[in-house]
Amino acid sequence: MMNFIRRISGSLSFRLMFMFLIGGFALTELMQVALRVTAGELLEQNVLRDAVLYSDLLVDRRTGQVAEELATTLADTRGFDIVLRRGDSVWAVGEPINLDHLHFEPVDLSDLPVPIVRRGRGRSAGSTPYALESDWEDGRFLVRMQSRGYDFILGYDPNIVELVQIWNIIALIGMLGLLYLATHWLFRPLENIRGVVSKIGQGDLGSRTTIDRHDELGKLGAEINQMADDIEGMLEAKRDLFLAISHELRTPVTRSRVAAELIGDTAQREAISADMKEMESLISDLTEAESMSTGHSTLNRQPHSVSYLISTELNEHFANSGVEAPAASSDDYMLLDGMRIQLLLKNLLINSLRHSAPDQPRPTVSAKVNEEGLALVVKDSGEGIDTQHLGRVTEAFYRPDASRQRKTGGFGLGLYLCQNIVSAHGGTMKIDSELGRGTTVTVRIPHKVEDKETDNNV
């Protein structure tokens, strides 16, 4: 829960929405004040107009009696509270009005619309100009004036606060909705950028952003694409250099091997031949590794029995190693490049045997083919790999032994070649290791699907 809170609070979108939310609350408060003022002014004018209109109608012109039926109808239909008082006689309808606590103030007629003023003054000849007074009491607006000898009080409670709050909530919800849509649109390219950067970090240098915008995020996406192009170009140049050097070295190495055969000293001839053979092996591994890492390597996928590939490799190169082949199976066929899968197994076993003492248990090989694909596991009980080196052991020429002594390892190309073979098949390779307890390499290769690689199936 705490991790979720930290992740959300650290989100740029969350921070931006939080800032806008504060601004939205401040804006809605200002809107609420403005609505109260505006609604209050409109209400006062409407109630003043109604007071002027009904002041004459609620008192009979001939008898001076209160038109109770009309007053009751107004109270029911319009929500008015009406009091007509003359001397000690009081007639009221609607909610009670406590006249003792009111402090009426004169209404400035210049603030009223002209039709209201004219209607109020259009009375019978000889009548005195009327005077309007008003007061607010607990959210209710009250108007007092004289009507045919009566003290006429008209009250109306519009519940402005509730009305304003409703509109305030509606405005806030609408603002939050627009804010969410705007923020989502504004930061939508970040998801694309994050995904592309993650793929590039995992080695997929062909991934590119697809942001069709000209703002800062659009420029950032274009710069990431340019960076990926530059990195891809540099790596291609490095691969080309490796391959060119490897090819150029083959000729002098071959000539040196031929010349070594003419040396009369048997011990010296065999030592030189062994060195030449090791150099040829290095060149072959380097050429194969770099050709597999280009992303355009040709895989000769054929239906192969995985158990047969493993047993064949063990019989040819590890017959006296003590490594046992898994049981043969007739239900473990997959479309694989058999030669390269055997090369993968060969390099994994060479590493396992090299780092396992003779008195320790021999490495084990297990393989299983199911609906998800191949799961190949090579496990040993050797010296293991320090955690700090696990993330780099699949890099070309990387070796945990900084002194790079020949007795502690090869050239640092074995696991690099294994990683490229697995990647070319669309699979993954995971290395788990603990010092003094051994290493486990798990290779997972899915069944062949339509992909970007060019296969040479013959």
Residue spans of the domains in the chain: they are: 2-161, 203-294, 300-455
- Least confident stretch, 8-22, 341-355, 365-379: 8-22
> What average pLDDT does this structure show over 360-375?
92
Question: CA–CA separation, 195 vs 203, rounded Å?
Answer: 13
**For residue 323, how many C-alpha atoms fall within 13 Å in the half-sphere facing its CB?**
29
Question: CA–CA separation, 132 vs 322, rounded Å?
Answer: 113
Question: CA–CA separation, 345 vs 429, rounded Å?
Answer: 12
Examine the pLDDT at 319 and tell me if it is beyond 80. Answer: yes
The whole-angstrom distance between residue 215's C-alpha and the CA centroid of its chain comes to 20
Q: Average per-residue pLDDT in the chain?
A: 78
Q: What are phi and psi of 82, to 5 degrees?
A: -125, 135
Q: Exposed, middle or buried: residue 13 (CB in 10 Å: 0-12, 13-18, 19+)?
A: middle
C-alpha torsion angle, residues 432, 435, 439, 440 (rounded to 10): -30
Q: Are 182 and 166 in contact (CB under 8 A)?
A: no
Examine the pLDDT at 122 and tell me if it is beyond 60. Answer: no
Question: CA–CA separation, 251 vs 257, rounded Å?
Answer: 10
The kind and range of the H/E element at 139 are: none
* 249 token code pair: 């070295």
Which class is 203-294 in CATH? mainly alpha
> What average pLDDT does this structure show over 113-117?
58
**Which CATH number is 300-455's, of 3.40.50.300, 3.30.565.10, 3.40.50.720, 3.30.70.360?**
3.30.565.10
Residue that the structure tokens 């209607």 belong to: 119
**For residue 440, how many C-alpha atoms fall within 13 Å in the half-sphere facing its CB?**
8
The kind and range of the H/E element at 264 are: none
Q: What are phi and psi of 372, to 5 degrees?
A: -90, -20
Tell me the residue ranges of DSSP E strands in 148-300. Answer: 150-156, 298-299
Q: What are phi and psi of 127, to 5 degrees?
A: -75, 150
Q: What is the pLDDT of residue 307?
A: 93
Examine the pLDDT at 305 and tell me if it is beyond 90. Answer: yes
Q: What are phi and psi of 67, to 5 degrees?
A: -80, 80
Q: What is the pLDDT of residue 51?
A: 83
Q: What is the pLDDT of residue 98?
A: 81
Question: CA–CA separation, 285 vs 411, rounded Å?
Answer: 10
Q: What is the pLDDT of residue 441?
A: 94
Examine the pLDDT at 409 and tell me if it is beyond 50. Answer: yes
pLDDT digits (tens, 9 = 90+) for 346-358: 989 988 998 888 8
The letter for the amino acid at 94 is: G
pTM, two decimals, is: 0.47
Question: CA–CA separation, 14 vs 11, rounded Å?
Answer: 5
- Least confident stretch, 110-124, 147-161, 316-330: 110-124
Q: What is the pLDDT of residue 276?
A: 75
Q: Are 72 and 93 in contact (CB under 8 A)?
A: yes
The letter for the amino acid at 400 is: P
Q: Report the candidate in 56, 75, 48 with the shortest Cα–Cα distance to residue 141.
A: 48
Q: Which is more confident, 361 or 115?
A: 361
Q: What is the pLDDT of residue 165?
A: 64
Q: Edge-to-edge strands of the sheet including 150-156?
A: 89-93, 80-86, 150-156, 140-147, 133-137, 105-106
Q: What is the pLDDT of residue 304?
A: 93
Q: What is the pLDDT of residue 76?
A: 87
Q: What is the pLDDT of residue 123?
A: 44
Question: CA–CA separation, 422 vs 330, rounded Å?
Answer: 23
Q: What is the pLDDT of residue 455?
A: 46
* 458 token code pair: 């013959």
> What average pLDDT does this structure show over 23-43?
65
Q: Are 379 and 440 in contact (CB under 8 A)?
A: yes
**For residue 302, how many C-alpha atoms fall within 13 Å in the half-sphere facing its CB?**
10
Q: What is the pLDDT of residue 124?
A: 43
> What average pLDDT does this structure show over 94-115?
76
* 159 token code pair: 């519940």
Strands 454-455, 298-299: pairing is: parallel
pLDDT digits (tens, 9 = 90+) for 385-403: 888 888 888 877 776 665 4
- Least confident stretch, 15-19, 50-54, 348-352: 15-19
Q: What is the DSSP letter of 300?
A: -
pLDDT digits (tens, 9 = 90+) for 131-188: 788 887 777 888 888 877 888 888 888 766 565 566 667 776 777 777 777 777 777 8
Question: CA–CA separation, 385 vs 441, rounded Å?
Answer: 12
Q: What is the pLDDT of residue 236?
A: 75
* Proportion of the chain above pLDDT 90, given as a percent: 14
Question: CA–CA separation, 378 vs 392, rounded Å?
Answer: 19
Please give the C-alpha separations between residue 381 and each of 321, 339, 367, in angstroms, as whole numbers. Answer: 14, 27, 18
Q: What is the pLDDT of residue 362?
A: 92
Residue 144, SS3 per DSSP:
strand
**For residue 396, how many C-alpha atoms fall within 13 Å in the half-sphere facing its CB?**
16
Q: What is the CA radius of gyration of the chain?
A: 46
Q: Which of 108-112, 140-144, 428-432 ranks highest by mean pLDDT?
A: 428-432
- Least confident stretch, 62-66, 159-163, 262-266, 309-313: 159-163
Q: What is the pLDDT of residue 296?
A: 45
* 194 token code pair: 């994050």
Question: CA–CA separation, 32 vs 39, rounded Å?
Answer: 10
Q: Exposed, middle or buried: residue 280 (CB in 10 Å: 0-12, 13-18, 19+)?
A: middle
Examine the pLDDT at 450 and tell me if it is beyond 60. Answer: no
Question: CA–CA separation, 246 vs 251, rounded Å?
Answer: 10
**Confidence label for 345 from pLDDT (cuts 50, 70 and 90):** very high
